[in-house]
Structure 1
Amino acid sequence: MIPYHFEIKSGKRGSSLEHINYVTRTGAHGEHEDLVTTAFGNLPTWAGNDPKAFFRASEKYERKNAPAFRSMTFNLPKDLTIEQNKRLAIDISHALTAGKPFLLAVHAPVSALAGEFHPHGHLMMSDRMPDDIERSAELTFRRYNASHPEKGGCRKDSGGKNRAEHRDWVIEQRKLVAEHINEALERHGHHDRVDHRTLRQRGESRQPESYLGPARVRRMSSHDKQQYLDARQRQRRKDEGSTFK
């Protein structure tokens, strides 16, 4: 079983351009050499095929208490080639955004712990759903007008969800990403799979593996790193054994 990670965050107002620079490895983040590819889509005409222009307008015109963007991060399988993961990340992005404006960046840094590539995607998207109405940047982010759509902004698909509905939506997104990953693994002849369910939902009592972080890894000795990796490998073999019983 391949480890699975999928995370959704709401982008705070004022953080859009810094987040774009981070995921695209530009500006202060240009020293990183792990960028694999970037892609974007579904931008309105006024944005001029420039994701920065779109999210800059979101910062300026989106209502005060609303997030400027939504951020999603997902792991990609190390078993796939770079080109296969590029295609997979783009397919996942289109499935998650369902026509909404987005910016995708794929990173493949080398793990400080195991020295292996760690491919993953960063998806930055808007909750605004484009329609066939041409709007200005300001009008795009105004409140939706159901009676006269041309007089209001694009409708938001996140509006009106209660806590339970939002939880179910997150689960649906996790499942959607896992399905795309497993389809790609099968298509390219790999037998391993990911599982979007929690350990409890899978009937496992163990705790999830904690995230060490680069700073903690740097403080670990070579012996400590190897012990950690050996324990991880033993757990994965145990998981694979229980899967095929």
Structure 2
Amino acid sequence: MAIYHLSAQVISRSAGRSAVAAAAYRAGEKLQDERLGQVHDFTRKQVADQFIMAPEHAPEWANDRQRLWNEVELAEKRKDAQLCREINVALPRELNDEQQLQLLKEYCQQQFVDCGMVADLSIHRNDPQNPHAHIMLTTRHVTADGFGQKNREWNNKELLHSWREQWAKHANRELERNGIHERIDHRSFQEQGIADRVPTIHEGPTVREMEKRGIATDRGELNRLAKEHNAIVVELQKYREMKEAKQERIEQPPAARKVIAAAEKVIGSTATIENINETHTKLKAEEEQLKIREMRNKERLEPFEMATGHFRSIDAWKQSLEGSSALKRAFDKQERDSFRSTEQLVKKAEEKLQALGFTSKEHFETRRLKVTQFAAQETAAIGEARKRINAERSVLDSAANVLKRV
């Protein structure tokens, strides 16, 4: 199941820490701390992805990790200065790498970069069970000339609470967009009104590394027990819901039972309002994929449509060239200029055909026939899929109306 985790910390000079060292470690890079004259080399560390997001008005060097964090160190004069803030988030395992990246970028853009912060992101996937991201944030407003004043409002606890809430909303939106019914919640079980589940505790990298090597820890054992307990609670809840749904179905008149049976074929399990809503979400995601297929199908045909226009023009221009009199060209400058201009047009059109990948008209026709046949089949398949989706939606809506009347 999807796991919620978002923690924050401030990296400060009073704790003997360096923003440059922290950035090098998280990004798996070799960076030089110009203030201390130290080199931090973590290039042996495996990092899945790392990149910087900066406001549009930020100077170009804000996208250079070495320069960015040395500028941060330079801007802070106090020995107890707060250098930067770090947000650590667990990435939903239900999403693939590309979807996780999309989620992370959207969240950071809206919550941090649009507010004037520079965000340095590093994604770690060493443990497949714990994909997560480190987000290092600047604490000063960045201008076209560099760093300005500190923004103390970014230290407010209410803002941190908002970041936690927004991470859940962004993640759930991405999960829904991809037809995944799992959801995360930034609230504690107590705040959600859930009294029968046990919360897990944060393990940290040291405990995770020990557990990975087969060394049992107290924190790891507590989390295993909590997960086992919660899994049993969830299964019992599902069983109760399934039993209630089947009982309701038995009590329905024959016509209503037929509607529900049709919906269960679509769903693949017991027809409940929750399952119907989840299936609607999946159908919506499938429809989005059809739109992408339709767009790609159109893009597949575009080069051939462009090439068809070029071939028609070439045929017309060549016909014009063949009709030109060599004798007339010898004594008429305008005729010569027109002939050369047409030759240039033919040459440019042939170059465009080469750029499109067509070496001759025969080669073009052979490929066009294959691609148009495939495109026609794809168009028909997309049309059939849309018909099925619409029919399944109708079945689900009918079943939902029956269940709501119970």
Establish whether TM, by shorter chain, passes 0.5. Answer: yes
What is the letter of the counterpart of residue 30 of structure 1?
Answer: T
Match of 1:30 among 29, 43, 65: 43
Structure 2 CA distance for partners of 1:158 and 1:74, relative to 1, 3 Å:
same
Residue 169 of structure 2: aligned partner: 179
Residue 144 of structure 1: aligned partner: none
Q: Greater helix share, 1 or 2?
A: 2
Q: State the distance in 2 between where 1:85 and 1:30 align.
A: 24
Residue 78 of structure 1: aligned partner: 93
Structure 2 CA distance for partners of 1:238 and 1:30, relative to 1, 3 Å:
farther
Percentage of identical aligned residues: 21
Runs of 4 or more, structure 1, over 4 Å off, are 225-231, 239-245
Cα distance per residue 1:160-194 (max 9 Å; x no partner): x6xxxx22221111001111100000000100000
Residue 122 of structure 1: aligned partner: 134
Q: Indicate conservation of the 8 Å contact 1:89/1:106, yes or no.
A: no
1:101 aligns with 2:118: yes
Q: Indicate conservation of the 8 Å contact 1:39/1:90, yes or no.
A: no
C-alpha deviation, 1:107, in angstroms: 1.1
Q: Secondary structure at the match of 1:93?
A: helix
Q: State the distance in 1 between where 2:174 and 2:43 align.
A: 31
C-alpha deviation, 1:47, in angstroms: 2.2
Match of 1:50 among 64, 77, 80: 64
Q: State the distance in 2 between where 1:219 and 1:46 align.
A: 46
Q: State the distance in 2 between where 1:167 and 1:89 align.
A: 22
Counterparts of 1:70-219 in structure 2, within 5 Å, are 70-97=85-112, 98=114, 99-110=116-127, 116-131=128-143, 134-135=144-145, 137=146, 140=147, 153-154=148-149, 156=151, 158=153, 166-204=156-194, 206-211=198-203, 212-215=207-210, 217-218=212-213
Cα distance per residue 1:198-239 (max 9 Å; x no partner): 232123453433514322553536xxx899757624413525
Residue 215 of structure 2: aligned partner: 220
The alignment yields a C-alpha RMSD, in angstroms, of: 3.0
Q: Indicate conservation of the 8 Å contact 1:199/1:208, yes or no.
A: no
What is the letter of the counterpart of residue 8 of structure 1?
Answer: A
Q: State the distance in 1 between where 2:98 and 2:60 align.
A: 31
The count of corresponding residues between Structure 1 and Structure 2 is 214
Q: Secondary structure at the match of 1:213?
A: helix
Cα distance per residue 1:127-173 (max 9 Å; x no partner): 22335xx42x4xx2xxxxxxxxxxxx2451536x6xxxx22221111
Where in structure 2 are there 5+ consecutive unaligned residues? 31-40, 242-406
Cα distance per residue 1:15-65 (max 9 Å; x no partner): 2111111111124432233x2211212263262631331221111222524
Q: Secondary structure at the match of 1:201?
A: helix
Residue 18 of structure 2: aligned partner: 15
Q: Which has the higher contact order (CA 8 A, sep 6+)?
A: 1
What is the letter of the counterpart of residue 227 of structure 2?
Answer: R
Q: Secondary structure at the match of 2:181?
A: coil
What is the letter of the counterpart of residue 24 of structure 1?
Answer: A
Q: Secondary structure at the match of 2:51?
A: strand
Q: Secondary structure at the match of 1:238?
A: helix
